[in-house]
Amino acid sequence: MSTLDALPEVLTLEELAVRYGPVELQKPLTKAEFAELAERYPDLSMERDVNGNVIVMSPVKKGSGRRESRLFLLLGAWLVQTKNGELFGSSTGFDLPDGSNRSPDVAWVSNLRMAADTASEEEFMRIVPDFVGEIRSSTDRVKTLQRKMTDSWIANGVRLAWLIDPYDEKAYIYRPGREVEVIEGFDGKMLSGEDVMPGFELALEEMKRG
């Protein structure tokens, strides 16, 4: 019997994730086992941390889906103008240098980094995004997301990362080698793509709860 055959019933995990938020599998998986699990259940949103622990994510609700889509569309409009890089949504997996497999809500990869990706069309990406955006949903814990930003994204080479919390109306800006910048209140506040995504700005009012 393989490790995957011994896992709990995945549909049960999905139901738990819907009701209670992200659910962690009881047994760590290798990269190969995680890839097999993802292929077997392509409709589930899952991540694997550096220790092999797999988290089954809950589907986003109406408000979270709207905010994620809005950020993706705004970045897409900027991308059309600049013709620099590729944009990826929350279903895209990144095979990071530390051995983890992560999927941000939104990721942008520059032309330079895209040229270094050796993954085929049917594999997880093997490069680190230049930018990631994570938007807190009602089932997410802020502390868990903050650790993900520093330990998974910035530590692996992301150049700019945003954690947007529409419930407390706070935005956290992460940059390598610098203290986290916190913006409180969304009215009239903007996030800048800085030198990573020159010319891109996000009005935080776009991320407010309806």
d(CA 4, CA 210): 41
pLDDT of residue 7: 45
**Is residue 194 scored above 90 in pLDDT?**
yes
Tell me the average pLDDT across 19-29: 65
Q: Where are the domains of the chain?
A: 4-57, 62-207
Q: Which amino acid is at 31?
A: K
Q: Which is nearest to 108 in space by CA: 76, 148, 154?
A: 76
Q: Is 17 helix (H, G, I), strand (E, B) or coil?
A: helix
pLDDT of residue 101: 93
Is the alpha carbon torsion for 115, 118, 119, 121 positive or negative? positive
pTM for this model (two decimals):
0.84
* H or E element at residue 101: strand 101-102
d(CA 175, CA 6): 41
Give the tens place of pLDDT for each residue, 42-89: 777 889 999 888 888 777 778 788 999 999 999 999 999 999 999 999
Two tokens, residue 22 = 């992200």
Architecture, CATH, for domain 62-207: Alpha-Beta Complex (3.90)
DSSP state of 142: H
Instruction: Tally the C-alpha atoms within 13 A of residue 80's C-alpha that lie toward its C-beta.
Output: 6
**Is residue 22 scored above 70 in pLDDT?**
no
**Is residue 120 scored above 60 in pLDDT?**
yes
Give the tens place of pLDDT for each residue, 136-149: 988 889 999 999 99
pLDDT band at 16 (very low <50, low <70, confident <90, very high): very low
Q: Is 38 helix (H, G, I), strand (E, B) or coil?
A: helix
Q: What is the mean pLDDT of the chain?
A: 87
Angle 122-123-127 (CA atoms, 0-180°, nearest 5)? 135
pLDDT of residue 54: 85
**Count of other CB atoms within 10 angstroms of residue 170:** 17
Give the tens place of pLDDT for each residue, 88-106: 998 899 999 999 999 999 9
